Amino acid sequence: QSEVLASGFDQLYGVAVAPGGTVIFAELGRGRVLSVASGKVEELATGLRQPVGVASSTSGTCFISESGAGRVVKPTRGGVDTVLDGLQHPQGILVRGDLLYIVDAGAQELIECDTINRTRRTIASDLPVGAPPGVVPKFIGAIGDMSGPMGPFAGITAGPDGTLYLSADAEGSILALRP
The Cα–Cα gap between 105 and 111 comes to: 11
Question: Do 156 and 168 touch, CB atoms closer than 8 A?
Answer: no
pLDDT score for 134: 75
pLDDT confidence of residue 140: 66
Query: Is residue 61 left, alpha or beta, with left meaning phi > 0 and alpha meaning psi from -120 to 50?
Result: beta
User: Which residue type, as a one-letter code, is found at position 37?
Assistant: A
Classify residue 171 by burial, with Cβ atoms within 10 Å: 0-12, 13-18, 19+.
exposed
pTM assigned to the model = 0.91
> Mean pLDDT for each consecutive 10-residue tract of the chain (179 residues)?
91 93 95 95 97 96 97 94 96 96 96 94 95 72 60 91 94 91
Q: How high is the pLDDT of residue 136?
A: 75
Which residue in 154, 143, 146, 151 sits closest to 177, CA to CA? Answer: 154
Cα separation, 112 vs 120, whole angstroms: 6
* pLDDT (0 to 100) of residue 131: 78
| Distant-in-sequence, close-in-space partners of 158: CB < 8 Å, separation ≥ 6 | 94, 96, 101, 164, 165
CA distance 50 to 68: 5
